[in-house]
């Protein structure tokens, strides 16, 4: 009975997706990001000037609208190159390849800012579920699950020692936004914040009034305790 109630309320969808994303992907690739960025920087010394941005920037659109091609999402985002691949044998697949793409983000002064950026891929599943009648997943359900996915992923990563300082979550709500370069502006905001943090550390001062991530409160991601995932059986633990 508890399992059926949980399935009807879809409480475990985002929670499971966040954990799967972390265990099956982020925990594998994030600890290797800085090494890949360092190798690229040695070969291209003038590209990655700000070490504080040597992270994987993960886009989390609450609309779950994920573009396969970032250059089509925003013309101010240009593909540069792929970083060094990580090859592992996992789940029966020999030499499975993990890699990230480096992009140049053009600002209002035509200056290029470089970073590794990609979407949180589980959001594609949430979007697909809202388009499939069999899933009985409404747009409202999708929005709430996207919020819960972000909050869960944020908490998981905060508790992960292996992933400390290797990522930046860029969560945003683009509903009603008609601005052509909305995405690049959001990425640039985060890159500038990280640059300011690096300068503040270099000068021996703590950065003031700088937000490293858009917090749940900033985005009004209030979800009641009753909406949080519950175990399917109360006698499991």
217 within some domain: no
51 within some domain: yes
Query: Could you tell me the pLDDT band of residue 94, with boundaries at 50, 70 and 90?
Result: confident
222 within some domain: no
113 within some domain: yes
226 within some domain: no
Residue 197's domain comprises: 7-204
30 within some domain: yes
Write out pLDDT tens, residues 21-32. 999 999 999 999
Lowest mean pLDDT among 4-8, 35-39, 158-162, 209-213: 209-213
232 within some domain: no
Amino acid 200: pLDDT: 56
Is 147 in contact with 217 (CB distance < 8 Å)? Answer: no
> Is 135's pLDDT higher than 70?
no
State the average pLDDT over residues 190-194.
94
Lowest mean pLDDT among 92-101, 130-139, 154-163, 199-208: 199-208
228 within some domain: no
> What CATH number has the domain bearing residue 98?
3.40.50.12100
> Is 146's pLDDT higher than 90?
yes
Distances in whole angstroms, Cα of residue 108 to Cα of each of 86, 99, 111, 176: 35, 29, 7, 22
The pTM is what? 0.79
Amino acid 209: pLDDT: 35
Query: Could you tell me the pLDDT band of residue 48, with boundaries at 50, 70 and 90?
Result: confident
Here the tokens at position 76 are 């101010």
State the average pLDDT over residues 177-204.
79
| Domain total in the chain | 1
């Amino acid at each position: 009975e508890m399992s059926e109630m949980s399935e009807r309320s879809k409480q475990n969808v985002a929670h499971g997706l966040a954990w799967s994303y972390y265990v099956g992907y982020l925990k594998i690739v994030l600890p290797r990001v800085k090494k890949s960025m360092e190798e690229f920087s040695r070969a291209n010394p003038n590209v990655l000037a700000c070490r504080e941005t040597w992270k994987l920037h993960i886009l989390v659109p609450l609309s779950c609208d994920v573009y396969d091609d970032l250059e089509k999402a925003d013309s101010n985002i240009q593909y540069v190159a792929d970083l060094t691949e990580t090859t592992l044998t996992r789940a029966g697949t020999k030499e499975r390849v993990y890699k990230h793409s480096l992009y140049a983000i053009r600002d209002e002064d035509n200056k290029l800012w470089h970073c590794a950026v990609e979407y949180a891929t589980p959001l594609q599943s949430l979007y697909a579920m809202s388009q499939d009648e069999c899933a009985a997943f409404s747009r409202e359900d999708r929005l709430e699950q996207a919020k819960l996915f972000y909050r869960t992923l944020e908490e998981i990563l905060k508790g992960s020692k292996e992933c400390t300082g290797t990522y930046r979550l860029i969560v945003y709500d683009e509903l009603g936004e008609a601005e052509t370069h909305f995405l690049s502006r959001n990425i640039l905001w985060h890159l500038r914040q990280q640059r300011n943090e690096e300068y503040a550390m270099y000068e021996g001062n703590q950065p003031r009034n700088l937000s490293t991530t858009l917090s749940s409160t900033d985005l009004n991601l209030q979800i009641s305790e009753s909406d949080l995932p519950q175990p399917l059986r109360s006698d499991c633990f």
